[in-house]
Each structure stands twice: as C-alpha cells, then as structure tokens.
Structure 1
Amino acid sequence: MRKRARLIYNPSSGKEAMRQHLPEILDILELAGLETSCHMTKGSEDTIQAAMQAAEDRFDYVIAAGGDGTVNEVVNGLAQAEKRPVLGILPAGTSNDLAGALGLPRDLLEAAHQLTRFQIRPLDVGQANGQFFINIAGCGRLTEITYEVPSKLKTALGQLAYYMKGLEKIPQLRDIHLEVEAENFGFSGKAMLCLIMNSRRVGGFENLVPDAKMDDGLLDVIIVKQSTIPDIIRLATQALRGEHIHSNRVIHFQADRLTVRSREHVDLNLDGEHGGTLPAEFVVLRHHLQVLA
C-alpha cells in the first residue's frame, strides 16, 4: 500500500509562496509514492484540529507548510495523539527557524524533494502549561516582536518586517523581574529576556546556542541580565557570530524541567505566537515526535 500524507498549509505564510507552488509540490510528493491530500488552514484552532484529525485518521506523514507559527500549531495537534504521524516541514514562512535548524532548504520545491528522501530523526518537544512548542519559548519585551508584526507586513517585507519592529522596540526596552528555578540552577532578579530553546536557531540568528541539539532531552536556557541599550546592541552583534554566549551579561544552562515566574505581568512567546503569561512550568518530552530532516 502507498503511504498517505496530509499537507496542512497556511496560504498567507511568508510571501504566499504556497499558492504558487502547491501543484508542483503535490506532484513531487505523488511521484515519490505518497498519496497526498491537502488542508488549507483558516486559523490557529483550525490548524490544530486538522493535525489532530490527521493523526486520528492514521496518516503516515503530516506536512506543515508555513512559518514557525503554523508548525507550532501542527505540533500542538500531533503531540496530543497517542499514535503520531511523522512530521514534515515546508518552510513557507518568514523566519523558518525550525526548518533551518533541520537543514531544510528555503526553496519550497527543493525542500519538497528533500522530504521525499524520507530521512527520519527523533525530535524533542517542549511543553509549557499544557501547550507545546517545538523550537523556542521566551519572555521579555524583545520576544513580543514576532506576534506584534502584522501578517500583511510580513507578507510584503519578509524578515525585514521583524528587524523594523525590533528597531521600533529599542526605545521601549526595559528589564523585567524573573525567578527561574531548575534542579541545579536558580536565578532571581532583573533580566531583559529569557529564552528556552530546543534548537540553536531563533529569529534568523543561526547560533544563539551553538551546541544545542534537538534530540538530547534537554532545553537550552539563555537569560540576558539587566543591560543598557548599548549592551543589548553589542550582544545582538555578538549573537550574529555566536559569541554572545561568553558575555558576562548572559547566563546559559540546560535543564529538562524548569519554572519561570515574575512579580509583574509578563507575556509568554511560544514559537513566535502568544502563549499566555507567566508563571509557567517548562518540560521537555524527549523524542516525542519523528521528523523528516
């Protein structure tokens, strides 16, 4: 029997490239022996439900075509299932952090051909207060950029939209009070942001944690301590080269479980989407999914 794939695609992701390339992508998947059907997303809850239904219908593969937000929604559907299809990703979004960390090409047709090599690897999944994330959880003013950028602006400008929003945010940057607890680590004080990562790549920064692995059963945590705006700009420059990790303004540790609290209202970012507010308990589910890489 031919294996079945469910392609769940976001028509507005990135610069709407899926609209143009969908027939060619379906042809690539069919020629590789996959009996492929499609679902066009209509919102976050619809995407989650579509992924859950695909798992219930025992599809062999579920391919998420869109940005990191679309991938997050598909993962939130698959991760709840007892029997989980293999995840595939077509990077049709703005940043495509997870696809980049998995080594998938940005070109959609090349990425589709790569998926049909059927190279499968295990993938850890993070969980925060009952929600799942696959790449990054974060808090702090800078992490709000990703869900504050209008989708139309992302469609028109791509990654540049995030950089523009980042420049707009710089004058508003302020520290927040954080309490971070893990088995062998504790922090209490003012911080600019906290990132809880499952890969080395976030927001187009290729080496935010150069040695991070997506299947080691550990989350990599970065805390940027109270800093001036010149300090933040300097750290961002160092982060482009992966050198920020040695700064005295940066704390880095690994954990499979941690809790983050604050005395003030702090929003939580999960894979670029709003994920509620602190406090939150984070755990890693080791090898919870399999992914085409």
Structure 2
Amino acid sequence: MSVPIILNPTARRGAVLRRIDPLVDAFASHGLEAQLVRSTSEEHAKELAAGFAAGGAPVVGALGGDGMARSVAAGLIGTNASLGIIAGGRGNDLIGKLGIPKDTEEAVAVIAEGRDRTIDVLDLDGTISLGNVCLGLDSAVQQHANSARFVRGHWVYLYGILRALLPPKSIDLELTVDGQRLDFRGLTAGFANSGRYGGGISLSPEAQLDDGLIDVVLLREAFLPKLAVELLAFMSGKHKRHPNIHFDRAREIRIDTPAGAAPVEIVADGDAVSQTPATVTICPSSLKVRVPRE
C-alpha cells in the first residue's frame, strides 16, 4: 500500500529533506511505499490532503513542523482519513501532546501500526489550528524565534522570550467569552487546544485535545521585578497560584480591539495567520490522528 506524505521542503531551511531517505526505508520495512509530495504553500498542502482523502487514502502524512501538520489537517477535517505526523520542524509541540515520537523510524511505525484518535480543532475564522491561538507576547516570541539563525533547538524559544521582554509590550483586547464581555490589558492572550507551544512550554497543562473546550489563559500586566515570576508561572502552567494569570474555558471567543486601536497580530501553531478582529471556536471531534497504541 502507498502512503501519501506531504512535506514542506523549506522546513528548518531545508533540513527536513535529510529525513526523506530514512523515511522511505522505514516505510519499506513495514511493507509500505511512501508517496512523497512537495507542497508549495499552506493552501496547496490543504488541497493535496483533501484530494488524497477523497481518493480513499486511510492516512495522509505530514512531514514538517506544527504549521505543516495544521495545513494537511485542514484538508482532512470531516473525512475518514487520518493525519499521520512525522516531525520535521523546530517545536513539534503537537506530537509531544499526542505521544508521537520525534524519531523518524518510530513515527513511521506509528503511522503503520498505530491507532486512530479523534481530536478537536480550533477554527479561527476559517483557519484551522491544532494547538493554540495566541496574541501579544507569544506572537513576539514566535517572530524572534523564527528569525533566529544561530540559535538551535529549544534554546531558540528562550531567545525569543528574552527578545520579546526587552521591553515587554502590552495589548488591549475586548474579549467576548461565550457571550460574556471581558476587557483585557496585559502581555499575552492564549486560547489553547493542546496547551503546548514553543518547544514544550505549557500554556495550559490541563488542556485536552478531545474535551470540546478552549482553555483561555490571559497574562495581565505586572511590574518588571514581578514579571519574571509571573512569566515563569505562566509557562509552567501554575496559573491558579498567581493573581495576574486569568484562566477560563469556553467554546467561542470573539477577539476585538478598542475603538481606534491598531489591530493585533494573531499566531496559530507558531505562524502569524491573522489579526484582530477575529473569532475562535472549537470544532469537537473533527479530525482523526494516527497515534501510538496504548
């Protein structure tokens, strides 16, 4: 049987291409053929995935980072095809939540011999997010991390945090959380499905991929001496111990900015995809993902 694998040839500045030969060999060891297809854009990856699903493929693979997984998943929503993920990016946070190994051969074994799990996805005005939607400090962290050329591995996100904090910039938002108005001024607003981002940072340790809810995590302003403590608590998931961290759960969040304020950039799964105003909703049980057998 042939398994379609959609890849982003530019992931990690082309380093993902070094995984192709081990990937082909790993599939062959399971009696399968890897059908490698290169995508040229997020929309192209979505179209390719939708086409394979319509053609009856039981699983469609994504080779790349969290953004690539999101693009392929967008074409599989509501179909019978499962998403298979082979790590090829920097953060690879979704597989960490799902228990999928980073090792190529082990990830291929999951695709070949694993089970299908149905998870929720976030919908940001038609753009799918598998992990998290963030604004504010998180957006700045991702920008600095993505632009780093000489920092590697998880250190790139620490570098991004340090750059984003010098100096920290606050955002003003008008949120409507399941119909309830909430005015927010602070450093970051996160809306979590998986609860992991930035190479293992915990946006919300209690977030579940199949509970039909969005975890809302807001980090309010704090004086600089206290900010480091609050930020460490935010990233380690100790939200309930700190008064400047607001936590809630919802099914829909409308994100606006006050009248006259500039739009705020919105990041989904590590990529800048939109800006305010926007609406985030949860789509329960809408995607199948191939995960390890328990």
Q: In the superposition, relative to structure 1, how do residues 152 and 211 fare at CA in structure 2: closer, same or farther (>3 Å)?
A: closer
For the 8 Å contact 1:5–1:34, the answer to whether it is kept is yes
CA deviation string 1:75-134 (max 9, x = no partner): 22323xx53410011111100010111011222222222332222111101101111111
Structure 1 CA distance for aligned equivalents of residues 65 and 135 of structure 2: 20
For the 8 Å contact 1:8–1:62, the answer to whether it is kept is yes
Structure 1 CA distance for aligned equivalents of residues 148 and 41 of structure 2: 15
Q: Which residue of 2 is the match for residue 182 of structure 1?
A: 177
For the 8 Å contact 1:137–1:269, the answer to whether it is kept is yes
Gaps of 5+ in 1: none
Q: Which residue of 1 is the match for residue 215 of structure 2?
A: 220
Per the TM alignment, residue 249 of structure 1 is displaced from its structure 2 partner at its CA by 0.6
Which of 97, 102, 105 aligns to 2:101? It is 105
Per the TM alignment, residue 258 of structure 1 is displaced from its structure 2 partner at its CA by 1.7
Structure 1 CA distance for aligned equivalents of residues 41 and 112 of structure 2: 28
Q: Is the counterpart of residue 202 in structure 1 residue 200 in structure 2?
A: no
Structure 2 CA distance for aligned equivalents of residues 251 and 204 of structure 1: 23
Q: In the superposition, relative to structure 1, how do residues 15 and 232 fare at CA in structure 2: closer, same or farther (>3 Å)?
A: farther
Structure 2 CA distance for aligned equivalents of residues 75 and 214 of structure 1: 14
CA deviation string 1:222-271 (max 9, x = no partner): 01112233333212322454323431011111111121111222011111
AA matched with 2:69? V
Q: Which residue of 2 is the match for residue 277 of structure 1?
A: 275
Per the TM alignment, residue 186 of structure 1 is displaced from its structure 2 partner at its CA by 3.4
- The alignment partner of 2:273 has SS state of strand
AA matched with 1:207? S
Which of 114, 122, 147 aligns to 1:126? It is 122
Give RMSD over aligned pairs: 2.3
Written as runs of structure 1 = structure 2, the 5 A alignment for 1:1-293 is 2=1, 4-14=2-12, 16-79=14-77, 83-150=79-146, 153=149, 157-183=152-178, 185-239=180-234, 241-263=236-258, 264=261, 265-293=263-291
Q: In the superposition, relative to structure 1, how do residues 109 and 191 fare at CA in structure 2: closer, same or farther (>3 Å)?
A: same
Percent same amino acid at aligned positions?
25
Structure 2 CA distance for aligned equivalents of residues 275 and 88 of structure 1: 23
Per the TM alignment, residue 39 of structure 1 is displaced from its structure 2 partner at its CA by 0.8
Per the TM alignment, residue 153 of structure 1 is displaced from its structure 2 partner at its CA by 2.2
Q: In the superposition, relative to structure 1, how do residues 148 and 164 fare at CA in structure 2: closer, same or farther (>3 Å)?
A: closer
For the 8 Å contact 1:21–1:109, the answer to whether it is kept is no
- The alignment covers a number of residue pairs equal to 288
CA deviation string 1:2-56 (max 9, x = no partner): 4x42101123323755322322222322443444311122333332222222223
